[in-house]
Structure 1
Amino acid sequence: MRIPFPDEVLPAEQLGTVHFVGIGGAGLSAIARIMAQRGVVVQGSDARHSAVIEALRAEGITCFVGQDAAHLDGVDTVVASTAVREDNPEIVAARARGLRLWPRSAGLTSLMTPPITTVAVAGTHGKTTTTGMLTCALVGAGADPSFAIGAEVPALGTNARAGADPVFVVEADESDGAFLHYAPSGAIVTNIDADHLDMWGSVEAYEQAFDDFVATVGDFLVVNTEDPGAERIADRARAAGLRVVTVGFAPAVADIAGAELRVDGTTTRLRVVVEGDTHELELLVPGRHYALDALLALGAGRALGYPVAPLIAGLGTFRGAARRMEYKGEAGGVRVYDSYAHHPTELAADLAAARAVAGESRLVAVFQPHLVSRTRIFGGQMGEALSLADEVAVLDIYLAREDPDPEVTSQLIVDAVAGPPARVVGSVAAAPAAVASSVRPGDVVVTLGAGDVTEVGPALLSLLEQPGE
């Protein structure tokens, strides 16, 4: 469901009581937390109970499980997730009562009022990790920023907080055009790789959205020179008068350059050259793509005026984000990780990182495609990326906001896997037993996808802990 962005966005403190439809999601829970910490009366509902709901309740936020028009009694403003459908009873009631009904992007924008300096982290891949890394870097440099991240970051203990300093680090989502409304002081663009074509309609329109986003930035832009799309908008940003900071592994073209990259199990080490000085950086996450994210975060920290050494120290505290190659446990000699990767580029990057973790052991990929439209467009490429594993299990498509299409199924992906054995294992409920039947001690299993595939790992571990039952 798409709700129009309002003509005027009031500061959060002027919204009265705010109700969030879909408060259990990463995006809305972050906004709700920050509003509550700033003294706004907030509440919300979600279709299902979750650990997020429990955590919000522990913080004093009223959360309903299930949606009902009665939840809007006494409410002035309703903020809704894009995953909510038009016939949701709370949406219907909000419209019938003439309440202020906003999309998520407007709720987040209401928190960006002056004198706050907002840094927005945009890009197709790596937004959550880079936002978390930048926040950790700033904390390491002695700052107390506000932040809104698309997943919980263990090093920070949460996905969002209202800080005391006038700096606000936000993950800027392009999937529904939200990032076009933020007008940040500074921005990071991690990369531009066609996605969300159900929203944008074409690759050209998707790429143009990033041009439009950069046109809203007021002061500086940090980009990855290794990504052609990001490099292209860097040229336009310079022409528009923005300060541009470039990062990458080519010192001849990057302002902040990485070198001597070493990935050892779950650790990544590299040297970083900044303004002629060389620094050592050790990250507690594995993979070259995470090193690039760290360089981007370092670039934004420098653009904000913080010194290099404490920023690097802060980056060293980052140990991942929920569902970003998150270690879930080990049972029966099988290690299980969980990843939010759902685009072919993300699948390839995380499986390459998982291969480094697995070493000589077998790598088993358990993938849940997200959205019919994305599977229709990228199904073949998803299968190619999954071919990096030694065994592949593909769940049914997670529909989210779309209806099923009998011509678009998970078999499209399985048919494109080249090399390793691959099969469709059905639902989230059926997948753990199916995977347990084929794994063996020493294997590394990675569950991947943006839906509820995250439930498969814990269930698999539970089965492996009881092999005789």
Structure 2
Amino acid sequence: MRIEVPSVIPPVGELGHVHFIGIGGAGLSAIARLMAQQGVTVSGSDAFDSAVVRALRAEGIVCHVGHDPSQLDGVDTVIASTAVRDDNPEIVEAQRRGLRLWPRSAGLRSVMEGRRTIAVAGTHGKTTTTAMLTCALIAAGAEPSYAIGAEVASLGANARLGSGDLLVAEADESDGAFLVYRPEGAVVTNVDADHLDNYGTVEAYAAAFDEFVGRVGRFVVLSADDPGAGHLADVARAAGLEVVTAGFAEDADLMGQHLRVDGTRTTFTASLRGVDLGPVELAVPGAHYALDALLALGTGLLLDQNVDLLIAGLGAYTGANRRMQSLGEAGGVRVYDSYAHHPTEIAADLAAARAVAGTDRLVVAYQPHLVSRTRLYGAEMGAALSAADRVVVADIYLAREDPDPAVTAALVADAVVGPVATLGGPVPGLADVLLPELRPGDLLLTLGAGDITTVGPAVLEALA
């Protein structure tokens, strides 16, 4: 559902009782936590019980499973997920009662009031870069508040109200949310066409990033390795912003060199405009994570933090939920789970998984996300999956969309070249499909932004 952003967004203290529809999602749960930690009365509902919902309850937030109009009794402000449909009974009731009804972006903007916000945007890598920057700033003693699009093991949660004046926030572009914010500083990891169901054209999607940069107050940190992000340097300088480019390109201001991905670790060296900053060692595997770390490091330096402490904080980052997350091992099979759902993300995660697997077999179970995205990128998804040794493609996760008989998982599976690729059907039965395929030594990677995250644990339980 698309909800209009109000022209005036009051601060958190003026919202009264706030109710979140879809509170179990990564975005809304973070905002709910930040509001509750500021003393706001917070409640919420979600279609399903989950670890996040149970954690929120443990923190004192009333969370209902299922949606019912009576759950809005005493509520002043309703904030809804974009995944919620127009006919949701709580949406209908909020409109009937004339309650303040906001999208997620307005809720986060309200939390930002009075804080020095650093917004992390980009098509890929937002969550990891936001989490890495948060870990680095905490290690440097900045005590930031943060709102991240996933639970982060080393932080204990996806959001926290810090004692410092900084707020590090993941800025999602999918529905234009990042255009609501007015950050002091910003990071753009990359600009790679996506969410064309919302933007319509590649040009319109790219133009949104131009507009985002135009809303920044002081500085931007941009990937030197991505042409889309690199284009924004001219936009930023024209707006009078300080610009730092970061990456492994030879013209990067903050340049990484000597990259090595070895098993579950990644190492490289960093220098800023020719000045050596020393080695960086990450506890996560993948060249893309090294780039995320450079962007986080550049941001910390622009915030005048100590470089050695920032680097130590980057080394303390151990990953975020669903970002090449190790779920465990059973029956000699290692199981990882990741959120990748765009061809670029799939390729990056398969490269990282290959480094972890070494000479062992890499088996990938992939769930395409959204009919609209599969229609546009199904063939490219299949091409990226071709780096695996065995591929199983589950049914499309529809989320907010309706099915299209002409757009199915076969568009992806048929485009895989090299490894055997088969259709796995619905996710609830996918573990049973995978079990006969697996053998000791395999690395199983489940990929997708939908409910495929349930498959890894089911496989481990069956193999134990």
Q: Shorter-chain-normalised TM-score: which range? A: over 0.9
Structure-1 residue corresponding to 2:26: 26
Corresponding letter in the other structure for 1:111: V
Corresponding letter in the other structure for 1:384: A
Structure-2 residue corresponding to 1:345: 344
Select between 373-382 and 425-434 the one with higher mean Cα deviation. 425-434
SS of equivalent to 2:249: coil
Q: Distance in 1 between matches of 2:52 and 2:306?
A: 35
SS of equivalent to 1:70: helix
Per-residue displacement from partner, 1:203-242 (whole Å, max 9, x unpaired)? 0000000001001001000001110010001111112110
Structure-2 residue corresponding to 1:268: 266
Aligned pairs, number: 463
Deviation of 1:88 after TM superposition, in Å, equals: 0.2
Q: Distance in 2 between matches of 1:331 and 1:353?
A: 21
Q: Does 1:68 align with 2:68?
A: yes
Corresponding letter in the other structure for 2:299: A
SS of equivalent to 1:33: helix
Structure-1 residue corresponding to 2:51: 51
Deviation of 1:57 after TM superposition, in Å, equals: 0.4
Structure-1 residue corresponding to 2:160: 161
Structure-2 residue corresponding to 1:134: 133
Structure-1 residue corresponding to 2:332: 333
Structure-1 residue corresponding to 2:84: 84
Deviation of 1:255 after TM superposition, in Å, equals: 1.4
Q: Distance in 2 between matches of 1:249 and 1:66?
A: 48
Structure-2 residue corresponding to 1:396: 395
Structure-1 residue corresponding to 2:150: 151
Q: Does 1:294 align with 2:293?
A: yes
Q: Distance in 2 between matches of 1:194 and 1:180?
A: 17
Q: Does 1:15 align with 2:23?
A: no
Corresponding letter in the other structure for 2:257: A
Q: Does 1:40 align with 2:40?
A: yes
Q: Distance in 2 between matches of 1:354 and 1:380?
A: 21
Deviation of 1:274 after TM superposition, in Å, equals: 2.5
TM-score normalised by L of structure 2: 0.99
Structure-2 residue corresponding to 1:368: 367
Corresponding letter in the other structure for 1:55: A
TM-score normalised by L of structure 1: 0.98
Q: Distance in 1 between matches of 2:300 and 2:339?
A: 26
Deviation of 1:427 after TM superposition, in Å, equals: 1.0
Unaligned runs of 5+ in 2: none
Unaligned runs of 5+ in 1: none
Displaced runs of 4 or more, over 2 A: none
Per-residue displacement from partner, 1:310-362 (whole Å, max 9, x unpaired)? 10011010011000000001111000000000000000000000000000000
SS of equivalent to 2:340: coil
Corresponding letter in the other structure for 2:35: M
Structure-2 residue corresponding to 1:381: 380
Per-residue displacement from partner, 1:82-120 (whole Å, max 9, x unpaired)? 000000000000000000000000000001112x11000
Q: Is the 8 A contact 2:330 2:463 kept in 1?
A: yes
SS of equivalent to 2:388: coil
Deviation of 1:297 after TM superposition, in Å, equals: 0.2
Q: Distance in 1 between matches of 2:11 and 2:277?
A: 43
SS of equivalent to 2:111: coil
Corresponding letter in the other structure for 2:243: V
Corresponding letter in the other structure for 1:101: L
Structure-1 residue corresponding to 2:171: 172
Per-residue displacement from partner, 1:337-388 (whole Å, max 9, x unpaired)? 0000000000000000000000000000100000000000000000000000
Structure-2 residue corresponding to 1:320: 319
Select between 423-432 and 128-137 the one with higher mean Cα deviation. 423-432
Q: Does 1:256 align with 2:251?
A: no
Corresponding letter in the other structure for 2:57: R
Structure-1 residue corresponding to 2:98: 98
Deviation of 1:143 after TM superposition, in Å, equals: 1.4
Q: Distance in 2 between matches of 1:220 and 1:304?
A: 10
**What percentage of residue pairs aligned between the two structures are identical?**
66
SS of equivalent to 2:437: coil
SS of equivalent to 2:428: coil
Deviation of 1:429 after TM superposition, in Å, equals: 1.4
Q: Distance in 1 between matches of 2:277 and 2:188?
A: 24
